[in-house]
Amino acid sequence: MKKYFLLILGLVLILSTAMPLGAASPLEKDMAAFDKAYITAMISTSQGKRATSKKAMERTMVEWASFKKTHADDLIKSNADKADLIIINQMLSDANG
């Protein structure tokens, strides 16, 4: 599970660096909410806190569903972008399992 979170972190960091600098947009705010959720899950998982990790993963999945519903169409500009979102979705599903 830790491996998936590290891969997701890398993908999110790459996507976030592609964003223009300036005032936080709704996309950036939603990315920050998602980051906060999955980083909490990653930390609690790496510390072996099973109950906390489970709750954090539930929150992460809710944040991901909200983020995907709100921003997926904006982020998909090519087949590679679509593939990235599919990979992130699969990693999160695997980690949640």
pLDDT band at 6 (very low <50, low <70, confident <90, very high): confident
Interatomic CA distance for residues 38 and 50, integer angstroms: 15
Closest CA to 43 of 87, 1, 96: 1
Output the pLDDT for position 22. 56
51 is written with which tokens?
């109950």
pLDDT of residue 20 exceeding 60, the answer is no
pLDDT of residue 23 exceeding 80, the answer is no
DSSP 70-85: HHHHHH--SHHHHHHH
Q: pTM for the full model?
A: 0.66
